[in-house]
Structure 1
Amino acid sequence: MWHLITAPILLPMLTAIIIMLPPVHYSPMRRRWISMISSAIQLVLAVVLLMQVQQQGLLHYAIGNWQAPFGIILVADTLSVVLVCLTSFLALGAICYGSAGEDEKGSFFHPLFQFQLMGINGAFLTGDLFNLFVFFEVLLIASYALLIHAGGKNKTKAAVHYVVLNLTGSAIFLFALAVLYGTLGTLNIADMALKVAALPEQDLMLVKSGGLMLMIVFALKAAVLPLQFWLPATYASASAPVAALFAVMTKIGVYALLRVYTTIFGDTAGELSGIADNWLLIAGLATIALGAVGVLASPDFRRLVANLVLVSVGTLVALVALNTPQSAAAALYYTVHSTLVTGALFLVADLIASQRGKAADRLVSGRRVAQPVLLGVMFMLAALSVAGLPPMSGFIGKLMLLQAVQQPLQQMWIWSLVLLSSLMVIVGLSRAGSSLFWRVSGNDCGTEKAEPLQIFAVCWLLAASPLLVIFAGPLTELAQQAAVQLHDVSSAVNLIIAPANTGSAP
């Protein structure tokens, strides 16, 4: 069972290879079924891995039995495995939606999708910063190709901006790793926490500069102000299943911020403790404000949903900046909620656009949709949840967020911005709903209807919101356990680095 840690990385990689080989490659139906079945198996294995972590605590896997800090280490704790489960759940919905016909509009959709899952899961499970860089590049290369899937001027333009900015971020990432490795002699996260805690004074500034460069890189990946300008156009131009999967992409940057600035530069880091907290708090609050304004100003529904992603990113970064177990627990619950709901909204936006004719998803009067009740209910459920209104999961997520803020000054700023942004989101979504469903020009009605797989995919993602409410008790306890485990740095270091440890896989 120790090898189970590698399954979320190896299974999508093998699936992508199988899909590209004949005779599977020449059969669209075979490609679809293999990709969907593999995604379902990935979800099952992720849940089994979570159960194993719950029973045994933090697990780590030394590739080739080369122990930390010298070998490649995979680390499975509650936080990372919950995010792997989230990715698998989201991916199953997105791949089902894509298999309804979107996958045939371009080449190699399914292999690229699986390679991106490999990169995302690897980023969550790696215990080494250099391998985090490697998995970042794997998922980014796949995302470059997925972004221009089916072609088009808008996609190509957005892809150029996306590629240039991420290549710049990758270069800064390498500089940061070089500085940290030259100073600390290791890039294993647990070992770095050990070295930073005993860092001599003459090396403080070098390590601090490397740590702040990492903050810039992860802020770019997460689309935090002022590095957010690539996200709205990129997400709005991507095809629906790709945009839905991209909903988890920014969360990888947030996860990296949480992992690095809790484990390496957390409470045990001495003078370097909390070096990024103030910067992240300011940037997070500014991102919330900018995203909320973007929701009100969006000319079309896809761009509105992209700005909702910005609001969620800003909220999560502000929670990371608080650097407490309570804020980490709130961030985890809110991550699961916001990722699945925004993913569902990207799919709903595509269904609406396909039924409104030339008006597509632009917030103007257009042709009546062919399935107003079905799409209207989907829109309403997603809108209630993403706005944080009871009884949907967004309400619980924002309640946990507000309770995690303890200091009066922080309460004044964070509570005010979060509540004000929620009001702006409600106004923006109300405007979008009235434009898409009530501002009808002419008596014509769309003839194109949603495919069964598309309906299943949207319902699959939307079902997460009521389930997060129904099982709010055990899920919030799970989030709190993950947060406590994350902040228990000494136990993780002793387990991974201690020479006497025999828990690694052969």
Structure 2
Amino acid sequence: MMQHLIALPILVPMVGAIVLLLTSKASHATHRRLSVGITALLVVINLLLLRQAAGGELTFYALGNWQAPFGIVLMLDRLAALMLILTAFLALGCVLFACAGDDVQGSNFHGIFHLQLMGLNGAFLTGDLFNLFVFFEILLLASYALLLHGGGKARVGAGLHYVILNLAGSALFLIALGVLYGATGTLNMADMARRVAQLSGDQAALATAGALLLIVVFSLKAALLPLYFWLPRTYASAPAPVAALFAIMTKVGLYAILRVQSLIFIDSEAAPAITAWLWWSGLATIVLAGIGVLAARDLRPLVAYLVLVSVGTLLAGTALGTPEANTALLYYLPHTTLICGALFLIAELIGQQRGKAGTRLVRGRRLHQRFLLGGLFLIAAIGAVGLPPLAGALGKLLLMQAVEGSARLWLWPLLLLASLAALIAMSRAGSVFFWASYKGEVASGKVSRAQLAGVVWLLAAAPLLVIFGGPVSSYTQATAAQLAAPHEPIQQLLGDPLAQVPAQRVTPQGQQGEAL
């Protein structure tokens, strides 16, 4: 049984989605119990996989017993296990919140929700670029339906824009795969890494073109400037539990970039161009997203721009390419994902009690549960800004310490200014919602137990990442070290002791670093 455990994060939500879709006429209570139970089971399974990966062992699973590089292979390492547990943890909070009533605003919410989880988990586990494309399409198709759940003019408009843009991205993804397959003759990541390192001449130039096109596609998924303009409107229009789950969507693009950069293209001719693209685009994303945070006049777009600030921060850290930078960004990633997800849910609770004013930063009704909502908002705001004592401050500090040389002159001031912009924006929003003068009668209605459980579940991650900061940072440090040794998965999967890829790093300034 244990040897098949790696396939369960894909099989469990797939089977759960089929059951939920085939029993569409069952009661809402039955669907909710099934959905919560399946998601909780995923949390348990992914915890077991996290424990397995923490030992440092790489686990491969050949579907149909067709061995690599000819068959489909799943690969579990520390990075994949971290992304799996993060996805399951976020999903459980979202589905609990949705059970308060968001799930009945349209049809088949829970079945589509688990199809999305299947796509996410598959993307994190696959060891093959074509199957990465397949799982991308699964999660994107599910996200189209979830975005439009409940209907409405704003959602349909944002959804149409989102669909068209991602269809274009998918077409570019296929073209990139075709180019890379033509140059290397394989789509298995480990096998491609071995072959890319041996290319020269026209074949190397072709592989470089494919690599750069692939990074552009992943940058679109991660919402990196100039490919981020779809995100604020899309996330602000989505139902609250869907927007919260979408907080992990940009991290899929980040994961894909980190995976192919550290494994396939680490020593290719494309490496300097990839590094420069990630560095400067990441910095520009921080700047414009910080301006967007200050300019937002509604809490939902404000949170969406906070997601973009974290995207820029994480991808600028990825461009540094050092184990120290990867350690910092992997520590910061779970915190920012869960906090932004919680903020989308809190925005929904605030909007429900403000009447027509909703989440706009204008005078509205006095909140019926202003102390409860104010406390939740305060914790989430501190986490989103990156203030002590929560993990956001430690994650940013680690990232700033990982920056060396002239890169500090760029990242340090921009990161601090973006945090200041977030502090000003969140303070303004809090004062409007909980402190400013009010208009009209006190709002009615209360936060349901399911909604409160979902928000508290996500917010609990902030103090837990501090309390268990030692083990978490040790895990992320070991993950960064594993990423810095790309020859290990190649040797273990392909059984070729000579198939080693030199672990050369490229700095944002384009200078080659020391071999790791």
User: Which TM class, normalised by the smaller chain length?
Assistant: over 0.9
Residue in 1 that maps onto 2:424: 427
Asked if the contact 2:16–2:111 (Cα under 8 Å) also holds between the matched residues in 1, the reply is yes
Residue in 2 that maps onto 1:83: 83
Determine whether 1:400 maps to 2:401.
no
Partner SS, residue 441 of structure 2: strand
Change (3 A) 1:77 1:84: same
Letter of the 1:352 counterpart: I
Inter-partner Cα distance in structure 1 for 2:55 and 2:428: 48
1:57-111 alpha-carbon deviations (Å, 9 max, x no partner): 1111010111111110100000011110000000000000001111000001000
Determine whether 1:411 maps to 2:408.
yes
Alignment equivalent of 2:489, drawn from 473, 483, 492: 492
How far the C-alpha of 1:348 sits from its partner, in A, is 0.2
How far the C-alpha of 1:442 sits from its partner, in A, is 3.2
Residue in 2 that maps onto 1:123: 123
Alignment equivalent of 2:277, drawn from 276, 279, 295: 279
Asked if the contact 2:56–2:78 (Cα under 8 Å) also holds between the matched residues in 1, the reply is no
Residue in 2 that maps onto 1:391: 389
1:465-484 alpha-carbon deviations (Å, 9 max, x no partner): 00000110110010011111
Inter-partner Cα distance in structure 2 for 1:83 and 1:261: 17
Letter of the 1:453 counterpart: A
How far the C-alpha of 1:331 sits from its partner, in A, is 1.5
Residue in 2 that maps onto 1:54: 54
How far the C-alpha of 1:349 sits from its partner, in A, is 0.1
Identity %: 53
Residue in 1 that maps onto 2:320: 322
Q: Map of 1:184-263 to 2, 5 A cutoff?
A: 184-263=184-263
Asked if the contact 1:366–1:439 (Cα under 8 Å) also holds between the matched residues in 2, the reply is no
How far the C-alpha of 1:322 sits from its partner, in A, is 0.7
Inter-partner Cα distance in structure 2 for 1:472 and 1:274: 33
Letter of the 1:418 counterpart: L
Letter of the 1:80 counterpart: A
Alignment equivalent of 1:334, drawn from 332, 335, 357: 332
1:258-288 alpha-carbon deviations (Å, 9 max, x no partner): 111111111xx25443430011100000001
Asked if the contact 1:369–1:437 (Cα under 8 Å) also holds between the matched residues in 2, the reply is yes
Asked if the contact 2:490–2:496 (Cα under 8 Å) also holds between the matched residues in 1, the reply is no
1:16-66 alpha-carbon deviations (Å, 9 max, x no partner): 1111223x6421111000000100010000000111122361111010111
Inter-partner Cα distance in structure 1 for 2:493 and 2:459: 38
Inter-partner Cα distance in structure 1 for 2:406 and 2:386: 23
Partner SS, residue 61 of structure 1: strand
Asked if the contact 2:327–2:473 (Cα under 8 Å) also holds between the matched residues in 1, the reply is yes
1:329-348 alpha-carbon deviations (Å, 9 max, x no partner): 11211110100000000000
Letter of the 2:276 counterpart: N
Residue in 2 that maps onto 1:144: 144
Residue in 2 that maps onto 1:294: 292
Change (3 A) 1:170 1:270: closer
Letter of the 1:27 counterpart: S
Asked if the contact 1:364–1:439 (Cα under 8 Å) also holds between the matched residues in 2, the reply is no
Partner SS, residue 227 of structure 2: coil
Determine whether 1:165 maps to 2:162.
no
Question: What is the TM-score when the length of structure 1 is the normalising length?
Answer: 0.97
How far the C-alpha of 1:200 sits from its partner, in A, is 2.2
Q: Map of 1:365-380 to 2, 5 A cutoff?
A: 365-380=363-378
Letter of the 1:49 counterpart: L
Letter of the 2:167 counterpart: L
Inter-partner Cα distance in structure 1 for 2:122 and 2:329: 20
How far the C-alpha of 1:2 sits from its partner, in A, is 1.3
How far the C-alpha of 1:437 sits from its partner, in A, is 1.4
How far the C-alpha of 1:499 sits from its partner, in A, is 6.5
1:137-190 alpha-carbon deviations (Å, 9 max, x no partner): 000000000001000000000001100000000000000000000110001111
Inter-partner Cα distance in structure 2 for 1:314 and 1:221: 13
Question: What is the TM-score when the length of structure 2 is the normalising length?
Answer: 0.95
How far the C-alpha of 1:485 sits from its partner, in A, is 0.7
Letter of the 2:156 counterpart: T
Residue in 2 that maps onto 1:183: 183
Partner SS, residue 366 of structure 1: coil
Partner SS, residue 26 of structure 1: coil
Inter-partner Cα distance in structure 2 for 1:37 and 1:317: 34
Asked if the contact 2:183–2:204 (Cα under 8 Å) also holds between the matched residues in 1, the reply is no
How far the C-alpha of 1:436 sits from its partner, in A, is 1.4
1:281-336 alpha-carbon deviations (Å, 9 max, x no partner): 00000001111111111110000000000000000110111111111111211110
Segments of 5+ residues of structure 1 without an aligned counterpart are 501-506
Determine whether 1:466 maps to 2:463.
yes
Letter of the 1:128 counterpart: D
Give the length in aligned residue pairs.
496
Partner SS, residue 364 of structure 1: coil
Inter-partner Cα distance in structure 2 for 1:181 and 1:497: 18
Inter-partner Cα distance in structure 2 for 1:455 and 1:311: 27
Inter-partner Cα distance in structure 1 for 2:447 and 2:394: 31
Determine whether 1:456 maps to 2:453.
yes
